[in-house]
Homo-oligomer: A and B are copies of this chain.
Amino acid sequence: MRGAVLYAPRDVRFEERGLPKITKPTDAIIRISATCVCGSDLWPYRGINPVTQPPPMGHEYCGIVEEVGTAVTTVKPGQFVIGSFFASDNTCPNCQAGYPSSCRHRELVGDAQAPLLRVPLADGTLVATPDLPSNDMIPSLLTLSDVMGTGWFAADAADVKPGKTVAVVGDGAVGLLGVLSARQMGAGRIIAMSRHESRQKLAREFGATDIVTERGDDGVARIKGLTNGIGADAVLECVGTQESMTQAIRSTRPGGSIGYVGVPHGVEFNGEKLFYAHVHLHGGPAPVRRFLPQLIDLVWKGKINPGKVFDLTLPLDQVAEGYRAMDERRAIKTLLRP
């Protein structure tokens, strides 16, 4: 079986990796229906995260259960399933508290850009759809594995509620799905910060009411101008840089909330500034598993269509071009079909 492997910055290869096998009784093997490239894959791709031994790539997946270990009881071969990038047992205290991505037995699923995938802790990790999905529903179901669950968590962590004013920092796929999530949660006004026309268009389609193209002081001034001078009630930080985090903090009203889901790279918070900003701050790796049943239901009933973030679909063996297109911002997000 061939799969994606990252050799060095901007050097992704599709090459022989060996077939995954059941190694523990709690494992499952799934046949991937679709996988994709994540914004966070671009950190090592761009050389910002160092690559030591060439790692297999990919952590977003959905597909048909091929085989299960002897201890697996909740999913069975033939079912269509979705799981998170963190496998979790769904029974430990952290899972029970709603934080499966901090499961005490969590395992990163990191080799999903391939036709077959081993998923650990299958009972805790995988959620089956009510039936086999139609082919055109698969992109939306795939997003629930990470990008949509992460946008949803950003909105959830920022305490988006009906009628609130929301600002979204970052117009990547997560930010755009943060817009969709905020709309679904009933936000009154949704300000998307974006400079790119195609992304602005999708943001509006997902529910953005305002677009702010400025950044820094000017961006803050625009947000304040739209919010009675005080800042947004809820801000979704969907990038992970010092600039985007500072933008988020300065755009939030005192007492407002920031949900941050961009993996921080070189971000430092100054304690005193954060103190006087008076904001609520919550984030981390999205507890995707918590949201799967609800989000599957929304996709299944046609209430949301997050799969629209995929503006490039390629056969899996062209994975390298999928990375390039996102790196060069020619694509928002690349879907890969084995």
Binding site for B on A (CB under 8 A): 93-94, 97-99, 101-102, 104, 228-230, 240, 245, 253-255, 260, 263-272, 274-285, 287
Contact = CB atoms under 8 A, between A and B. Distances in A.
B277 A266 contact: no
Contacts of A94: 230, 253-255
8 contacts: A93-B228, A93-B253, A254-B284, A263-B272, A263-B275, A268-B268, A280-B280, A280-B282
A284 B98 CA distance: 27
A255 B285 contact: no
Contacts of A229: 93, 104
Contact of A271 (B99, B264, B287): B264
Contacts of A253: 93-94, 97
Contacts of A269: 268-269, 271, 274
Given A264-B271, A276-B285, A278-B284, 16 more contacts: A93-B229, A97-B253, A99-B278, A102-B278, A104-B229, A245-B271, A254-B284, A255-B287, A263-B272, A266-B271, A268-B268, A275-B284, A278-B285, A280-B281, A281-B281, A281-B282
Contacts of A254: 94, 97, 99, 102, 284
A283 B229 CA distance: 22
Contact of A102 (B104, B255, B260): B255
Contacts of A228: 93
The A contact surface, by secondary structure, is: mixed
A212 to B, nearest CB: 20
A210 B94 CA distance: 23
Copies of this protein in the complex: 2
Given A94-B255, A254-B97, A254-B99, A275 B285 contact: yes
A285 B275 CA distance: 7
Contact of A260 (B264, B270, B275, B276): B275
A85 to B, nearest CB: 14
A224 to B, nearest CB: 12
Contacts of A268: 268-271
Contacts of A102: 254-255, 278
Contacts of A240: 271
A318 B212 CA distance: 57
Contacts of A270: 267-268
A40 to B, nearest CB: 12
Contacts of A230: 93-94, 104
Contacts of A104: 229-230
Nearest to A257: B282
Contact of A284 (B266, B276, B282, B283): B276
A228 B96 CA distance: 13
Nearest to A242: B271
A245 B264 CA distance: 19
Given A94-B230, A228-B93, A253-B93, A277 B271 contact: no
Nearest to A260: B275
A199 to B, nearest CB: 24
A277 B284 CA distance: 7
A267 B272 contact: yes
A112 to B, nearest CB: 21
